């Protein structure tokens, strides 16, 4: 009984924690510019050079308009690799030209600026950089930063921007990697004439990712490539699978421990009643009835244990859903795998149902052993037992 309670509780609680962790990681990855789905010009993913830009945004726009479910947000972007430099330092960055209004609805940058301000619509010189980059470049708000990259004609384009805002991100790497300017500014600098690098789409419901991705793939001309976040964040998807596997492993471990508990309890109950079973058999009770009797008993044991375990599990999740578990002390380590600094447990109905179903079915299965044992006593042996 206690084994069942602890088992169910830990399965639900730890399951929710892990689910929360994974969902956070995905959310993080998706909000860090990825989105749920991206559209690129063919070849851009393998070779993200300026030549692989999207020229006719209109085709894509009309396809998106007809295909995307309501509530979906999307934004075009210019995105190139470049070098940022000031008097002291220089380093590679990814220059992202955004539509400030649309971008804010899709990625984290809209609400990540902690110093200065966000970009305005037609701003020419403003640039947003991460806190980590500022520190590394030993610069600050209001100073200049020179960006260099290859333009459409193969020349090195270089342009000086003024730092108007500093953003924070969950991960330091993000802060160091990205620098944001307006799309206009980027297009002008790179002589793109209205071309863009990618379209990033954020769905209202992540579950629709695959369906929408496939629909877009079918509709858009072959000059474009459509990728879901699963393709775009292969490491994250791999982690997710790993976590899923880990969760199963955890279930297994819990279950084995619990299984022993159940078998033990039931065997003890059976041995305690060995004379009674013997008597019942002597009186003409069929072995099958005895099996049913024992199984019914473990059924009640399981149901009660599960009820308590579920209640405890959901209560502990509820208790933590307000504040979460703060991992910031471990942030340096967790950041490495893209985890959030604070974990909020996430209860998924599927996980809870799985845990319960598994405990229940396997619980009854392991009870078959004591039940069969009870049924196998011959009345003579059982009655001789004192």
Q: Is 341 helix (H, G, I), strand (E, B) or coil?
A: coil
Judged by beta carbon, residue 207 or residue 284, the one nearer other proteins is 284
Give me the DSSP letters along 38-62.
EEEETTTTTS--GGG-B--HHHHHH
Per-residue burial over 345-374, b if 16 or more Cβ lie within 10 Å, else e, is: bbbeeebbebbbebbbebbeebbebbbebb
Judged by beta carbon, residue 283 or residue 329, the one nearer other proteins is 283
Judged by beta carbon, residue 47 or residue 272, the one nearer other proteins is 272
Radius of gyration (C-alpha) of the chain in whole angstroms: 30
Shortest distance (Å) from residue 303 CB to other proteins: 21
What are 166's two structure tokens?
């500093």
Spatial neighbors of 108 by CB under 8 A, at least 6 apart, are 31, 32, 33, 169, 170
Positions in the binding site for other proteins (CB under 8 A): 275-276, 279-287, 378-380, 383
Judged by beta carbon, residue 324 or residue 379, the one nearer other proteins is 379
Shortest distance (Å) from residue 380 CB to other proteins: 5
Shortest distance (Å) from residue 385 CB to other proteins: 10
Judged by beta carbon, residue 45 or residue 275, the one nearer other proteins is 275
Judged by beta carbon, residue 248 or residue 300, the one nearer other proteins is 300
Spatial neighbors of 137 by CB under 8 A, at least 6 apart, are 84, 86, 88, 89, 91, 145
Shortest distance (Å) from residue 1 CB to other proteins: 20
Cα distance between residue 107 and residue 225, in whole Å: 20
Shortest distance (Å) from residue 285 CB to other proteins: 6
Shortest distance (Å) from residue 372 CB to other proteins: 13
Cα distance between residue 268 and residue 274, in whole Å: 10
- CA distance from start to end of the chain: 27
Cα distance between residue 135 and residue 133, in whole Å: 5
Judged by beta carbon, residue 156 or residue 384, the one nearer other proteins is 384
Shortest distance (Å) from residue 266 CB to other proteins: 18
Judged by beta carbon, residue 262 or residue 375, the one nearer other proteins is 375
Q: What burial class does residue 377 get, using C-beta atoms within 10 Å of its C-beta: 0-12 exposed, 13-18 middle, 19+ buried?
A: buried
Say if residues 229 and 34 touch (Cβ distance below 8 Å): yes
Shortest distance (Å) from residue 276 CB to other proteins: 6
Say if residues 181 and 95 touch (Cβ distance below 8 Å): yes
């Amino acid at each position: 009984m206690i084994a069942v309670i602890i088992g169910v509780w830990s399965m639900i609680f730890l399951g929710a924690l892990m689910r929360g962790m994974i969902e956070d990681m995905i959310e993080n990855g998706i909000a860090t510019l990825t989105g749920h789905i991206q559209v690129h010009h063919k070849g851009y993913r393998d070779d993200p050079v300026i030549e692989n830009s999207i020229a006719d945004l209109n085709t894509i726009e009309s396809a998106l308009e007809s295909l995307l479910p309501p509530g979906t947000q999307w934004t075009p972007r210019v995105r190139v690799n470049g070098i940022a430099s000031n008097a002291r330092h220089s380093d590679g960055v990814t220059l992202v030209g955004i539509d400030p209004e649309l971008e804010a609805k899709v990625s984290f940058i809209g609400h990540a600026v902690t110093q200065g301000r966000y970009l305005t619509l037609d701003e020419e010189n403003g640039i947003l950089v991460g806190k980590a980059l500022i520190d590394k470049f030993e610069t600050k708000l209001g100073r200049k930063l020179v960006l260099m990259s290859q333009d459409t004609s193969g020349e090195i384009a270089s342009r000086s921007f003024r730092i108007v805002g500093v953003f924070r991100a969950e991960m330091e790497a993000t802060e160091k990697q990205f620098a944001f300017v307006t799309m206009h500014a980027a297009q002008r600098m790179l002589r793109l004439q209205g071309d863009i690098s990618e379209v990033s789409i954020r769905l209202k419901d992540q579950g629709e990712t695959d369906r929408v991705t496939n629909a877009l793939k079918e509709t858009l001309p072959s000059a474009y490539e459509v990728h879901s976040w699963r393709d775009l964040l292969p490491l994250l998807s791999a982690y997710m699978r790993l976590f899923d596997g880990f969760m199963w492993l955890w279930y297994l471990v819990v279950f084995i421990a619990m299984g022993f508990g159940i078998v033990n309890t039931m065997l003890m109950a059976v041995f305690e009643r060995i004379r009674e079973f013997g008597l019942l058999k002597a009186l003409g009770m069929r072995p099958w009835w005895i099996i049913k009797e024992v199984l019914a008993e473990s059924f009640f044991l399981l149901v009660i244990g599960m009820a308590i375990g579920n209640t405890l599990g959901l209560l502990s999740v509820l208790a933590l859903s307000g504040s979460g578990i703060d991992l910031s002390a471990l942030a340096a380590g967790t950041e490495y795998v893209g985890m959030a600094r604070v974990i909020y447990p996430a209860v998924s109905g599927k996980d809870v149902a799985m845990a319960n179903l598994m405990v229940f079915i396997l619980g009854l299965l392991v009870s078959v052993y004591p039940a069969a044992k009870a049924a196998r006593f011959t009345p003579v042996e059982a009655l001789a037992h004192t």
